[in-house]
Chain A
């Protein structure tokens, strides 16, 4: 935890005795938003700063990149990122891993199984896959494509195009000579087929933000949060205006700068509201099927990087998945965020993020109160535990996993308060939660 050879013990530290739940947890947090509030309010957790020892660190990815390889962490210590999470969260790497996984599935399990990975639109990394991209581009004339910088977030640098010359313009130096290429590094972009028929509500496009918590990659253990939200574009959807940045990008960060953005007005629907709306329109069955497919996106994307990610028992990660629905109610994966925004855009949003983070800490269970056999912790449902997790405790029909009901409840009632009350034993010396 510290580069010094002398270990500095912070105030209140007690070495954990075997079998006894930890009574004081030292945390470090560099982000000044909801997570800081949640950590500070947690019973028995004490904030430490600077170079003091910590048991828990909610760090940013920059710090991780620079320090992870040099620090020693005791067994109980937890940190909120995996060393090479970018295999999942950087757009070019995610696509590469997914494509590779898809090929593997096709070889081992056949076409049908591989087709279940077709939840991301045709994507090419530029400049290295430029020629492959051009081939695909020519195969679908008139189609719209979206260019996204690989490593930036919050919608920065993204634009749409329909003609090759649009990206030629941007990449004027596309055909530079060898020595010129060495001088300046071209920023990596991905070109992705734009989904031209998104599902619209009130004429507006939206995407879904869903939270998935991974506590281990080998074996894969992933939790799905019941709450989430749909982010609406402020303006009505139309393909005729490609330049209007605001229509096509539903990122809150971009919408916040739109001229008619009203911060008081919510551009978000809670997941429960969306689920009810879709059920009222399309019936429960179709919506069930949609949410099963969404589950599939999480699981397969995680499986695709399972062997690549450096597994470490100290690490856990809370991902923000961005999903887009098209008019046929097919879900598409847009991207995965390792550091989903924890800044709240409204009171309702703040409460959602508080719940989410509190429950994340419950799952991580620094206090050692849980057995490890739970299928639901607060608003998190165990979605994958080295295999599918079923809602039912008893396997009534042992004939096939297709008859099992998945243990996911995205957009359902979040009964976390009652659930947690039943689940958690009171901390020693503390009042009941």
Chain B
């Protein structure tokens, strides 16, 4: 294939291209132009002198230019798809496997059909401009949209995770012949596609920092051991990382967990989510977008929040923030960028009367993401950390375009939901074969229970502090694989009870309440203390 040198140049070119349009670029340009007046800039060494100047200046701000640029590049590296052939078409970058692309395409058609039929049934337009007085009213109620009780009885969520699971179960690779006699080598689970997933030795390597010999927040801060050992040392390092403002260092640091009081800043640093005036302004623009137009998906968002987050014992308080984030999110076209590396394609709608004419096609909703049942739970835990709407918004958006989108699109990516499901089932089959077999026999395929946990990244199932410790590791490893490992670890933990059940319903009951689980000990035991 390509040699390393060419790969690197391609990557660099891609990142440079991406950053050229960014705010940071214009700031740097401006700064560079201004410094031309300075005496230390000599014409002979213009390039070097300007670079030197930029490196040194800006240090009086929180972040110097070099760090800012470094963080921006690191962000791009984090979301960049794996290197591919320079001739590869765009759709291959989104998803290399043809059958997956096809499956995603038909799934999208189904969703769009469902949305359109709801639209026709209820005679509600997909979008409509709000009259002036309605705009004023909404503005006055902006901070308490939860008090509104619109009639949502006719709306139904476009789909629920279990509908999506059925699609995944039916995925087949046409080139793979799985018609051999079922044996112990064959896969017992619901997912029947041959994707490569890591086994425990490989996972141990990937998640080395979670090993028994390293301190962890979520374990070493809760024992009776005096707190000044691991916890305060780790917190001290965390504070230093924040002072340096280095995203890469923060990402490495957070693998061992993040102290409560540093979490908001550290996550923002890792995600390179800023709250500069231009970010706040952008958020305000989105807000005015919400005021001007009413979208059909807004009702879906309302319904979802009312059904899920508002009924949660801990997240109900944050109801208003959820509307403020999700309504804006629907209108944010910046989100469309992530479709370059997402196997999904934003749905298109046509201006009335111009069906089929590409010139009159618009992406609907503007951000291309149709919310499903439970979507608001991606935002709810973040409300624990941020209460400035624009900051909360930026962090959520970044979390979505880095991680969450993979949980509801069909792709072969290692952090994609298909791989996670397969990984979960493989881990279970390899290390708890008796349990898996038993559950299969009683008609309780484990994935049917674990799927909803993974799709929501465990939000709403774990206690908030445990969830945040889990998401620390998602950010630290830039991967969602840990969700599959945790799901398997939960089954391992409750194996004894599960061996005694005789129905799917009973199995569900054993696993209904995860709120008392401590995530890190479970993961450590499963990964590092399992006898191979």
User: Are A280's CB and B316's CB within 8 A?
Assistant: no
Min distance, Cβ B207 to any Cβ of chain A, angstroms? 25
Encode B229-266 as 1/0 by CB contact (under 8 A) with A: 00000000000000000000000000000001101100
* Residues in chain A near residue B316, CB distance under 8 A: 265-266
- Tell me the nearest residue of chain A to B149, going by C-beta: A260
Over the window 363-385 of chain B, the binary record of Cβ atoms lying under 8 Å from chain A Cβ atoms (1 yes, 0 no) is 00000000000000000000111
In the complex the two chains form, is B260's CB within 8 Å of A276's CB? yes
Q: Which one of A180-188, A200-208, A307-315, A423-431 is at the interface?
A: A200-208
| Contact pattern, A 219-261, Cβ under 8 Å of B = 1, otherwise 0 | 0000000000000100110000000000000000000000010
- Is there an interface contact between A236 and B147, defined as CB atoms closer than 8 Å? yes
Closest approach, in angstroms, between the C-beta of B273 and any C-beta of chain A?
17
Q: Are A204 and B311 in contact (CB under 8 A)?
A: no
Question: In the assembly, what is the distance between CA of A414 and CA of B359, in Å?
Answer: 63
Do B320 and A284 have beta carbons less than 8 Å apart? no
How large, as a class, is the contact surface on chain A?
20 to 34
Beta-carbon contact of A277 and B384 below 8 Å: yes
Within 8 A of B (CB), among A250-308: 260, 264-266, 268-269, 273, 276-277, 279-284
Known contacts: A204-B317, A413-B222. The answer to whether A284 contacts B261 by CB under 8 A is: yes
A265 touching B311, Cβ below 8 Å = yes
Q: Is A348 an interface residue (CB 8 A)?
A: yes
How many chain-B residues does the 8 Å CB contact rule pick out? 26
Q: Check if B260 sits within 8 Å of A280, measured CB to CB.
A: yes
Docked complex: B456-471 residues within 8 A CB-CB of A: 464-465
- A281 CA to B318 CA in the complex, in Å? 15
| In the complex with contacts A202-B320, A269-B314, A279-B261, A236-B385 CB distance below 8 A | no
Binary contact readout B320-345 vs A (1 if CB under 8 angstroms, 0 otherwise):
11000000000000000000000000
How far, in whole Å, are A203 and B383 apart by their CA atoms in the complex?
A: 12
- Whether the Cβ atoms of A280 and B317 lie closer than 8 Å is no
* Contact with A280, one of B149, B311, B385 (Cβ below 8 angstroms): B385
Do A280 and B261 contact each other (CB < 8 Å), given the known contacts A203-B320, A204-B317, A264-B311? Answer: yes
State the total of A-B contacts with C-beta under 8 angstroms: 52
* Interface membership of B310, Cβ < 8 A: yes
Assembly CA distance A204 to B383 (angstroms): 14
* Bound CA–CA A221/B241 (angstroms): 46
**Contact A236/B313 with A202-B383, A276-B260 known, Cβ cut-off 8 Å:** no
Q: Are A203 and B465 in contact (CB under 8 A)?
A: no
Known contacts A265-B316, A266-B313, A266-B316: A202-B260 contact under CB 8 Å:
no
With beta carbons under 8 angstroms apart, the residue of B260, B383, B464 that contacts A279 is: B260
A236-B144 in contact given A273-B464, A280-B385 (Cβ < 8 Å): yes
Among the listed A268, A280, A283, which residue makes an inter-chain contact with B384, where contact means beta carbons less than 8 Å apart?
Answer: A280
- Expressed in whole angstroms, the Cα–Cα distance for A204 and B319 within the complex equals 11
Contacts of A235 in B (CB 8 A): 147
B143 within 8 A of A: yes
Query: What 1/0 flags go to B256-286 for Cβ under 8 Å of A?
Result: 0000110110000000000000000000000
Q: How far is the CB of B497 from chain A (nearest CB, A)?
A: 19
The residues of B that contact A348 with a CB separation of less than 8 Å are: 313
A-B contact list, 17 entries, CB within 8 Å: A203-B320, A235-B147, A236-B144, A236-B146, A236-B147, A236-B320, A260-B149, A265-B310, A266-B316, A268-B313, A269-B313, A269-B314, A276-B465, A280-B260, A280-B263, A280-B384, A281-B387
A-B pairs with the 10 shortest C-beta distances? A202-B317, A266-B313, A283-B261, A236-B144, A279-B260, A202-B318, A280-B260, A201-B317, A276-B465, A284-B261
Residue positions of A touching B, CB distance < 8 A:
201-204, 232, 235-236, 260, 264-266, 268-269, 273, 276-277, 279-284, 348, 413
Report which B residues bind A (CB closer than 8 A): 143-144, 146-147, 149, 222, 260-261, 263-264, 310-311, 313-314, 316-321, 383-385, 387, 464-465
